[in-house]
Every structure is written in structure tokens, then in C-alpha cells.
Amino acid sequence: MKSSVNRHLFFLNNACDCDNIVRYMRNYMIEALAEAEKAYNCGEIPIGAVVEKNGIILGRGYNLTETLGDPTAHAEIIAIREAAKTLGGWRLLDCNLYVTCEPCAMCAGAIVWSRIKKVFIGTMDPKGGACGSVFNIIQEEKLNHFVEIETGIMEAECSGILKDFFKKLRLRGSKWDKPKDSRLTE
């Protein structure tokens, strides 16, 4: 009888831990979604990212490719650069990346190179994703670093902002007006 009570308590405690973990992941994905909203508001593809370590956000980023005219100005790259600057080095050991959409090949390479521990992905990208959809660069056995992946974190919200953006873009006839971004005037 006692062992079944202990077993039941073990499962209850683990369920509580799982709830805390899910809440923890959601909190950082909410931050990444806030970054995606910034991209959306300046006419960029709405993808956002945050780098976190031990509960502290070290870097944030959102897409600025069109605004800056820079093909490398993806949310993940900007967040990784900011985190590296915060830590004072390129090795982001024990850091986690939360990103609203599956990273592309360029970003996946940067994730591996920077030694990110785990990537939490909101929605997958079946046309260009490099973390499991088209390629799986961050878990390629031939590379020197293996990154853990968790997908589907706030998937409806993460895919929803992208779908809304592209729907509005199609309605405008794919005309992209260069947005004004406060980062350019600072």
C-alpha cells in the first residue's frame, strides 16, 4: 500500500514539474512572440527570438532583413549576437534559444557554431526549415555540436502571426514598403 502511495506522489510531483517546465517555456516563447510582433509592425516577416540562460534573457532579436538590406539580419542571428556580446564571448554554453519559427540553414549553422544547448521552436517551416523539416543541421552527427530540439511551443500563436502577415501581404499585391525602424535612427 505504501509503495503505491509513493508512486502516486512521484507521478503528481512530476506532473507539477512538467507544468512548471511548460510555463517556463511559454514565458520565453511569449518574449519571442513580442519580438515577432516588432517585426510584423515594421513590415518584416514576423519571426522573433530570445536567448536565455539560467532564467535570464541575454539576447533578443526580430527579423530586419528588408529594413537593413542585410540577408543575415534574421531574428536568431540578432539574438545570438546580442547574447554573445552580453556574455563577452561567442560560446553560448548552456544557453537556450526560443524562436517563433523553425530556423533556416544559415541560422541553424550559427546555432551549432555558438554552442546553443537547446532550441525551442514555435512552428515548423516545411519549405525552408533546417531543424527537422527540410534539413536537420543542428542534429547532424558529422558536426562538432549536437543541439536538443523542442517543437510546438505555442504553435497556434507562432504560426498565426505568420499566416496573418502573408495574408495581408498577398492582399497588398506583394508590395513591400520599406518601414521606418527606430533602430536606424538611434
Q: Could you tell me if residue 105 is left (phi over 0), alpha (psi between -120 and 50 degrees) or otherwise beta?
A: alpha
Contact 76, 100 (CB under 8 A): no
Catalytic residue, chosen from 44, 66, 76, 82, is 76
Active site residue 186: no
Residue for cell digits 502516486? 8
- Between β-strands 148-151 and 48-53, what pairing exists: parallel, antiparallel or unpaired? unpaired
How many CA atoms within 13 Å lie on the side-chain side of 175?
4
Calpha distance 166→80 (Å, rounded): 26
Give 72-117 as a DSSP string: T--HHHHHHHHHHHHHTSS--TT-EEEEEE---HHHHHHHHHTT-S
Supply the DSSP symbol for 178.
Answer: P
Q: Which residues are designated catalytic?
A: 76
